Homo-oligomer: A and B are copies of this chain.
Amino acid sequence: MICYICGSLYRDMAGNTFGNLLKLSTFGESHGVALGGVLDGVPAGIEVDFEAINIDLARRKPGQSRITTQRKEDDEVEFLSGIFEGKTTGTSIGFIIKNKNQRSNDYGDIAKAYRPSHADFTYDQKFGFRDYRGGGRSSARETAVRVVAGAIAKQIIPDIKINAYVSGVGELKLDIPYNKVDFNEVEKNPVRCPDQVMAEKMVSLIEEVKLDGNTVGGVVSCVISGTPIGLGEPVFDRLQAELAKAMFSINAVKGFEYGSGFEGSKMKGSEHNDLFNQNGTTKTNRSGGIQGGISNGEQIYFNVAFKPVATLLQPQETINQNFEMLTLNPKGRHDPCVVPRAVPIVESMAALVIADYYLINKTRKI
């Protein structure tokens, strides 16, 4: 196809690598042979907890509860290198997740259509060419690879705890502050909200939306505890800058705030400043565990806003690649709300950042 803008034929893409010393390179489309990744920079000698990896994959996978998509994906990871006799060897860890179901006939009607608020139009314009099967590379199925890598990253930094949870679905908002959340409550309901009463309301809202063939957005919050002082590289590679980039690399994310966040912009300095205790900890934590781009040892906490999923079970008018109008009449399954499944993805991207910066910080001493 000819580019709509410049008339040239071919486009390409990079951008599939994340991290510095801990570096993840990924590949794979939703309906290709397999997805996978290369995780480089993992220290040698770590006894890999495969069970922990599988648990995180199960938290992300579709079809795990009635409020997520009923589509079944068997997310089974195969490790190909970098692990020997159960331990990491220090060499790059290659792994794949095979796509069991590669039928593309379900997608026949959208092969040429540009679905509203999807990546179909921009991929086609940028690359002059598109794998139209279920979104191809732009599908969120790609995040399964991040969860594998993130689960390994967590094992590099066992003393640092990274806990995400759902704090908002549509207009519903959890009002427990980050430092009062009992993380043991999170996995007790399908929506992954640590308050069981609020969780029930959220489930009801999602079910209602699902019945309409509609979708709804939400917010995932995350708390990182046990971070040593000193992570983060001023001035451009501040810890919050890399966390923000990591979160905005996830599909459907529209906002990120840490510490006092947008509310903090409304405050006065005298209300906002975190006064020190004599031991160097702070009485309050509006700074969100980071000062001057460097972790100060307090808890790091942040919110990530997700837009509603763009795929609806409702008819929508749209255009196709020939710039003709048509009506999409989708059928089958859809995911009414993505945030419950986004919880392990947020944790994984946070773990990749924190472990990377943890390793970088080790170079800062002679």
Contact = CB atoms under 8 A, between A and B. Distances in A.
22 contacts: A9-B365, A10-B44, A12-B43, A14-B237, A15-B233, A17-B17, A27-B40, A27-B92, A36-B38, A46-B366, A122-B230, A122-B295, A126-B230, A168-B266, A216-B267, A240-B253, A243-B248, A244-B256, A254-B261, A257-B257, A260-B307, A273-B312
A314 interface: yes
A116 interface: yes
A90 B127 contact: yes
A63 interface: no
A45 B127 contact: yes
Contact of A209 (B38, B92, B268): B268
A366 B16 contact: no
Counted per complex, copies of this chain come to 4
Nearest to A78: B33
A137 B294 contact: no
Interface stretch (A52-60, A174-182, A188-196, A275-283): A275-283
Interface in A104-141: 114, 116-123, 125-131, 133, 136-138
Nearest to A279: B323
Nearest to A18: B236
Contact of A261 (B87, B264, B267, B305): B305
A91 B92 CA distance: 21
Contacts of A359: 363
A235 interface: yes
| Centre residue among A4, A28, A249, A288 by max chain B CB count within 10 A | A249
A165 interface: no
B268 A46 contact: no
Contact of A136 (B33, B91, B117): B91
Given A235-B137, A273-B316, A229 B280 contact: no
